[in-house]
Amino acid sequence: MGRTAAIILAAGKGSRMGSQIHKQYLELKGKPMLYFALKAFESSPIDDIILVTGPGEVDYCQKDIVDAYGFTKVRTIIEGGKERYHSVYEGLKSIVDCESVLIHDGARPCITTKVIEEALAGARTYKACVVGMPVKDTIKVSDDRGYAAITPDRNSLWLIQTPQAFEYQLVWKAYERLLSSESYQTGITDDAMVVETMTQEKVKLIPGDYANIKVTTPEDMEIAKVLLNRIYGNE
């Protein structure tokens, strides 16, 4: 089997968190949030980690996170771009010699090696595979005045998370097409969408973990602390 890589995204500004420090560096259990995603991938079968960070944050990530905690699989730290998909593209561009690639939000610290292993197996079986969970709440689509318009059948709805896992050549081709076709570049919120719109390939949904939340707003910090204690213990 060929080499496997993970792109960990940490180039966002965390505007919905509303803190001075970008959310991926806020402390959880005495460590920057980004530490936990790096730790899970470091402990997984993934060979190489590409860390994508914000302008001016490369040195901080290298010294205060990668070197300070002794991560050995981080091959390169690069600057991302304006939108998440720009950051992913930069990450994909920096990869050489890779069979499967996992793309993960640095703002999902509660990721476990078990879910990483399942996503990797999914990439090998299906070529394109994303982790998610069946929704528990009823979801409604509103009209433009805020009235309930459509209630889709809950049984077919999934919350989509990361890692999103792909055969490298497939996702690379999809991103190259996306970046060269401006008309598609609005409302792209995940990598599966890029593969769905830019290729013929179907994306398989596999169950992940309800605990694998994306830390987005301040109350998510409290929830993440509880979930991390469950994974790593209380001290």
Residue 142 has, within 13 A of its CA and on its CB side, a CA count of 4
Note whether 87 binds ligand CTP by CB under 6 A.
Answer: yes
List C-alpha distances in Å: 31 to 42, 55, 85, 228.
16, 21, 27, 11
Note whether 12 binds ligand CTP by CB under 6 A.
Answer: yes
Number of chain residues interacting with ligand CTP (CB under 6 A): 22
- DSSP E strands in the chain: the ranges are 4-10, 27-28, 31-32, 48-53, 74-79, 100-105, 128-134, 141-142, 148-150, 158-167, 204-207
Pick one of 26, 49, 51, 107: the residue that binds ligand CTP (CB under 6 A).
107
Amino acid at site 92: L
Nearer of residues 76 and 151 to ligand CTP, judged by Cβ? 76
Note whether 212 binds ligand CTP by CB under 6 A.
Answer: no
Note whether 94 binds ligand CTP by CB under 6 A.
Answer: no
Nearer of residues 13 and 140 to ligand CTP, judged by Cβ? 13
| Among the residue ranges 57-65, 103-111, 153-161, 201-209, the one whose residues contact ligand CTP (CB under 6 A) | 103-111
If residue 98 lies in a helix (H) or strand (E), which one and from where to where? none
Q: From CA 73, how far away is CA 6, in angstroms rounded? A: 10
Pick one of 56, 70, 72, 82: the residue that binds ligand CTP (CB under 6 A).
82
Q: What are phi and psi of 128, to 5 degrees?
A: -145, 125
Nearer of residues 44 and 164 to ligand CTP, judged by Cβ? 164
Note whether 199 binds ligand CTP by CB under 6 A.
Answer: no
Residues that bind ligand CTP (CB under 6 A): 9-16, 24, 52, 80-84, 86-87, 105-107, 214, 216
